[in-house]
Amino acid sequence: MSKYYLIAGENSGDIHGANLVGEIAKQDSSAVFRGLGGDHMQENGVHISQHFKDIAFMGFKEVALHLGTISKAIRECKKDLLKFNPDVVVLIDYPGFNLRMAQYAKNLNIKVIYYISPQIWAWKAKRIKKIRKYVDKMISILPFEKDFYSTYNFPVDYVGHPLLDQVRAFVPDTDFRLKYNPQKKKLIAVLPGSRQQEISKLLPLILSVCKKYPDYTFLIAAISSVDPQLYNSVKLIPNAALVMDDSYNILYHSDAGIIKSGTSTIEAALFELPFVVVYKTTGITYRLSKAWIKVPFIALVNLVMGKEIVKELIQNNFNLESLSGELEDLISIEEYKVKMKADFRSLKEKLGNTGASKRAAEIIRAYLNN
């Protein structure tokens, strides 16, 4: 029997962790899984000792305000890990929390594997010191990360992006348009994020834009793991509909999108949906991030392609005028959409082949057996 302890601190990590667990279970029928994560991991057989929604804080100010909660979660996670005594700890992104757990596990002589690298290539590159000291193996899902780590003489296994499998396996709901769009208007996908801070910052302005386009239906992707009151204002907009835990049908059926920066930009691109990237945080978080971030773009799709293939509306540039203007271009300029979709196909090629979760599981199993 092999025991795996996984830690994922937000929704996309939870999904990737669930897919990884599913592949490990196929290769290791005696595997036992435990850890910190969410509903997706739990549904795939992981005993969840703590749910990530209780510690899903982001930004300097938000983290500082909840240090007590985060510290308590780390202590509880350490106790749980010690009691479980796994053969391996699998860390999924979420570096502030996971690098502390890496150190703790390493001091207990437990093997530590990092699946989905923290974005140290964007900021806090000094974290490479902790990674080299406490992480036994790094498994990457972005093509440029292997070259980044090679400059620090740290080997990385690149497996491709697991979202390729998820999008390929998706089966669209044929009744979706009739359910959410009986008037047969064109659809605009809105993915405002999975954290409370993101939704509260982005959704109000997006809903203001909805009012300017009464001939379109805006589909708001909601997440059941956050406070439902965050979405109350959607009910006040006649041409906006709340869609719970079904972002892929939204992306598949829509004509354009307003997408929060993050993993969802990759998903939208894989569906070849023309979209604009939006993001806003607190003033202090933005100023500090701008001073420290060392990459030219914030959207993953632009970073992978090495150029701006989708427009980024960040912080003060995320306003009613700029968002309305970009949405108008996405709706009305055919050449703009055609070029964007061509770039999305090139992106898909750069992300590698399908089977990332399976390859990651094979690497973890081989390392564990050795």
Going from the C-alpha of 113 to that of each of 45, 131, 361, the distances in angstroms are 20, 10, 11
Helices (H) and strands (E) in the chain, counts: 17, 13
What is the rounded distance in angstroms from the CA atom of residue 348 to the CA atom of residue 166? 13
What is the rounded distance in angstroms from the CA atom of residue 315 to the CA atom of residue 20? 34
What is the rounded distance in angstroms from the CA atom of residue 235 to the CA atom of residue 239? 9
pLDDT tens figures, 105-154: 999 999 999 999 998 887 778 899 999 999 999 999 999 999 999 999 99
Angle 165-52-169 from CA coordinates, rounded to 5°: 15
Q: Which residue has the tokens 């390859």?
A: 359
Q: Mean of the pLDDT values across residues 31-53?
A: 95
pLDDT band for position 64 (50/70/90)?
Answer: low
Distance of CA 291 to the CA centre of its chain: 23
Model pLDDT, residue 238: 93
Backbone angles phi, psi at 92, to 5 degrees: -120, 105
Q: Which domains does the chain have, with CATH numbers?
A: 3-162+355-369 (3.40.50.2000), 169-350 (3.40.50.2000)
**103: exposed, middle or buried (Cβ count in 10 Å: 0-12, 13-18, 19+):** middle
Going from the C-alpha of 276 to that of each of 209, 296, 311, the distances in angstroms are 13, 17, 5
What is the rounded distance in angstroms from the CA atom of residue 68 to the CA atom of residue 130? 23
Backbone angles phi, psi at 14, to 5 degrees: -60, -40
pLDDT band for position 241 (50/70/90)?
Answer: very high
Model pLDDT, residue 27: 94
What is the rounded distance in angstroms from the CA atom of residue 252 to the CA atom of residue 190? 12
Least confident of 60-64, 269-273, 358-362: 60-64
What's the whole-model pTM score?
0.87
Going from the C-alpha of 88 to that of each of 31, 52, 197, 256, the distances in angstroms are 11, 20, 33, 42
What's 263-314 look like in SS3? Answer: HHHHHHHHCCCCEEEEECCCHHHHHHHHHHCCCCCCCHHHHHHCCCCCCEEE
DSSP 182: T
DSSP 319: S
What is the rounded distance in angstroms from the CA atom of residue 363 to the CA atom of residue 356? 11
pLDDT tens figures, 82-102: 999 999 999 999 998 999 999
Model pLDDT, residue 317: 93
Contact between 207 and 240 (Cβ < 8 Å): yes
Continuous segment of H or E residues that includes residue 91: strand 88-92
pLDDT tens figures, 155-208: 999 999 999 999 999 999 999 999 998 888 899 999 999 888 889 999 999 999
Statement: residue 282 has pLDDT above 70: no
Statement: residue 293 has pLDDT above 80: no
Q: Which residue has the tokens 């435990």?
A: 34
Statement: residue 48 has pLDDT above 60: yes
Continuous segment of H or E residues that includes residue 49: strand 46-51
